[in-house]
């Protein structure tokens, strides 16, 4: 079995049987490819479809390797889980309950099932992940809670819209208001400021609702705002956070973080019941140590944000229009059909699943300036051919 270990400069083939292996050109490297339009073009090694597409960052890989060097207790009774929990408490500068799970979908479903029941309403943006990308897991895990959509520009819930939605029905014939769920950074690549989170959380708490945050790109929001993690979480009124690490270089595994201990009283049973309690928990926990101990989590997030800004500036300079402000690591741009198809024909991977010709290009911890400049050059070239 041969593994590809990524360092800062290259990928090094490693044979786990102990045999030496010659260096190869792996499929992630750029290669020459022909297109239907004729000629030879460069296929990008890094794609812009998602910040999930990059591999494991060096810090997480090293921590994972260290956790594999000895036997440990199972189901979270190990030093790595304890250390990762302590580092997350330091990260948020408060005592909190931390539960590691396999992925973000489970994190959101479990977090909301921990604070809501089947007769509750959960208020969220129409484009939030729990509405459009998680296959009804919240409804499944809560036993039928209803997701009530609350609009707002650039995927941010508007306070007046939230007040109106919560107050629309208060009788026994309708779902009882139970929680709000905010996405940080949002599905449009924008961020909520500490003040905006505090205002929305205050509206919710004044009506007796719990406050959940989907933080799949929480680190990108922190890096973009230049604030402390606590400023847009528990200090602003968030009670439970689904904290993402995969998009910043973890191999797998997210963390459900409870800032209100009373809400976590029976959460360990919920996690076990849906198959999210890992027997070898150290392999979910150890990579968190790698990205937290020396600040790599926020460093990688800041880099992804910088690449998105570079990409946005390049596309705007070429005459393309942005659909949303670029505040984190996502670029939403209006691409003419010929440019969109041309880029994909040249090997660029990105999503175009939005109305109005909007394409999404996501930057990640491994995105390079060369990747960005190449896609901008190709888009500029294709736009020139159209004209």
Q: What is the pLDDT of residues 245-280, one digit of tens each?
A: 999 999 999 999 999 999 999 999 999 999 999 999
In this prediction, residue 173 carries a pLDDT of: 82
Q: In this structure, are 300 and 288 located in the same domain?
A: no
Q: Is residue 56 part of a domain?
A: no
Cα gap 369→367, rounded to integer Å: 7
Q: Which CATH number covers residue 332?
A: 3.90.1150.10
Q: In this structure, are 121 and 192 located in the same domain?
A: yes
Residue that terminates a domain, selected from 275, 292, 309: 292
Q: Is residue 334 part of a domain?
A: yes
Q: Is residue 118 part of a domain?
A: yes
This prediction has a pTM of 0.87
Residue 72 has a CB neighbour count (10 Å cut-off) of 18
Paired residues of 180 in beta bridges: 123, 211
Q: In this structure, are 264 and 335 located in the same domain?
A: no
Q: Is residue 60 part of a domain?
A: no
Q: In this structure, are 16 and 100 located in the same domain?
A: no
Cα gap 4→25, rounded to integer Å: 11
Residues of the chain where predicted confidence (pLDDT) is lower than 70: 1-46, 386-387
Q: Is residue 62 part of a domain?
A: no
Residue 377 has a CB neighbour count (10 Å cut-off) of 12
Residues 22 and 336 sit within 8 Å (Cβ to Cβ): no
Q: In this structure, are 188 and 278 located in the same domain?
A: yes
Q: In this structure, are 268 and 353 located in the same domain?
A: no
Q: Is residue 268 part of a domain?
A: yes
Q: In this structure, are 229 and 117 located in the same domain?
A: yes
Q: Which CATH number covers residue 143?
A: 3.40.640.10
Q: In this structure, are 10 and 126 located in the same domain?
A: no
Dihedral sign for Cα atoms in the order 54, 55, 58, 59: positive
Residues 123 and 212 sit within 8 Å (Cβ to Cβ): no
Count of domains observed in the chain? 2
Residue that terminates a domain, selected from 240, 269, 292: 292
Residue that terminates a domain, selected from 241, 269, 292: 292
20 φ/ψ sector (left φ>0, alpha ψ -120 to 50, else beta): beta
Residues 278 and 102 sit within 8 Å (Cβ to Cβ): yes
Q: In this structure, are 77 and 171 located in the same domain?
A: yes
Q: In this structure, are 238 and 99 located in the same domain?
A: yes
Cα gap 271→25, rounded to integer Å: 42
Residue 329 has a CB neighbour count (10 Å cut-off) of 33
Q: Is residue 223 part of a domain?
A: yes
Question: How buried is 291 (Cβ within 10 angstroms: 0-12 exposed, 13-18 middle, 19+ buried)?
Answer: buried
Residue 312 has a CB neighbour count (10 Å cut-off) of 24
Range of the domain at 22: 2-51+296-386
Cα gap 75→71, rounded to integer Å: 13
In this prediction, residue 14 carries a pLDDT of: 36
Cα gap 230→175, rounded to integer Å: 31
In this prediction, residue 136 carries a pLDDT of: 95
Q: In this structure, are 86 and 175 located in the same domain?
A: yes
> How far is the CA of 287 from the CAs of 57, 250, 256, in angstroms?
9, 6, 15
Residue 323 three-state SS: coil
Cα gap 305→373, rounded to integer Å: 15
Q: Is residue 59 part of a domain?
A: no
Structure tokens at 47: 């794609």
Q: In this structure, are 117 and 87 located in the same domain?
A: yes
In this prediction, residue 18 carries a pLDDT of: 40
């Amino acid at each position: 079995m041969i593994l590809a270990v990524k360092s800062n400069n290259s990928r090094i083939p490693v044979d786990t049987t102990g045999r030496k292996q010659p260096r190869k050109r792996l499929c992630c490297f750029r290669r020459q490819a022909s297109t239907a339009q004729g000629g030879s073009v460069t296929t990008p090694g890094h794609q812009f479809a998602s910040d999930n597409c990059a591999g494991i960052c060096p810090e997480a890989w090293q921590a994972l390797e260290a956790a594999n060097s000895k036997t440990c207790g199972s189901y979270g009774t190990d030093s790595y889980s304890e250390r990762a929990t302590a580092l997350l408490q330091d990260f948020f500068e408060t005592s909190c309950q931390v539960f590691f799970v396999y992925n973000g979908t489970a994190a959101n479903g479990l977090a909301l099932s921990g604070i809501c029941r089947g007769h509750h309403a959960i208020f969220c943006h129409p484009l939030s992940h729990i509405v459009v990308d998680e296959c009804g897991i919240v409804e499944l895990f809560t036993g039928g809670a209803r997701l009530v959509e609350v609009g707002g520009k650039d995927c941010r819930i508007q306070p007046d819209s939230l007040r109106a939605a919560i107050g629309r029905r208060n009788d026994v014939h309708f779902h009882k208001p139970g929680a709000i769920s905010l996405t940080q950074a949002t599905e449009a690549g924008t961020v909520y400021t500490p003040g905006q989170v505090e205002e929305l959380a205050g509206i919710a708490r004044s009506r007796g609702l719990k406050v959940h945050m989907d933080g799949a790109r929480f680190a990108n929001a922190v890096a973009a705002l230049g604030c402390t993690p606590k400023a847009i979480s528990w200090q602003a009124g968030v009670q439970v956070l689904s904290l993402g690490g995969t998009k910043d270089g973890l191999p797998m595994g997210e963390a459900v973080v409870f800032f209100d201990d009373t809400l976590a009283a029976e959460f360990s049973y919920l996690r076990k019941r849906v198959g999210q309690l890992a027997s070898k928990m150290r392999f979910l926990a150890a990579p968190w140590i790698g990205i937290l101990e020396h600040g790599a989590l926020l460093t990688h997030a800041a880099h992804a944000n910088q690449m998105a800004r570079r990409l946005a500036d390049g596309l705007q300079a070429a005459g393309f229009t942005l659909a949303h402000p670029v505040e984190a690591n996502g670029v939403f741009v209006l691409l003419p059909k010929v440019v969109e198809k041309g880029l994909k024909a040249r090997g660029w991977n990105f999503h175009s699943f939005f109305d109005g010709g909007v394409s999404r290009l996501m930057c990640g911890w491994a995105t390079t300036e060369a990747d960005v400049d190449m896609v901008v050059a190709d888009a500029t070239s294709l736009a020139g051919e159209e004209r």
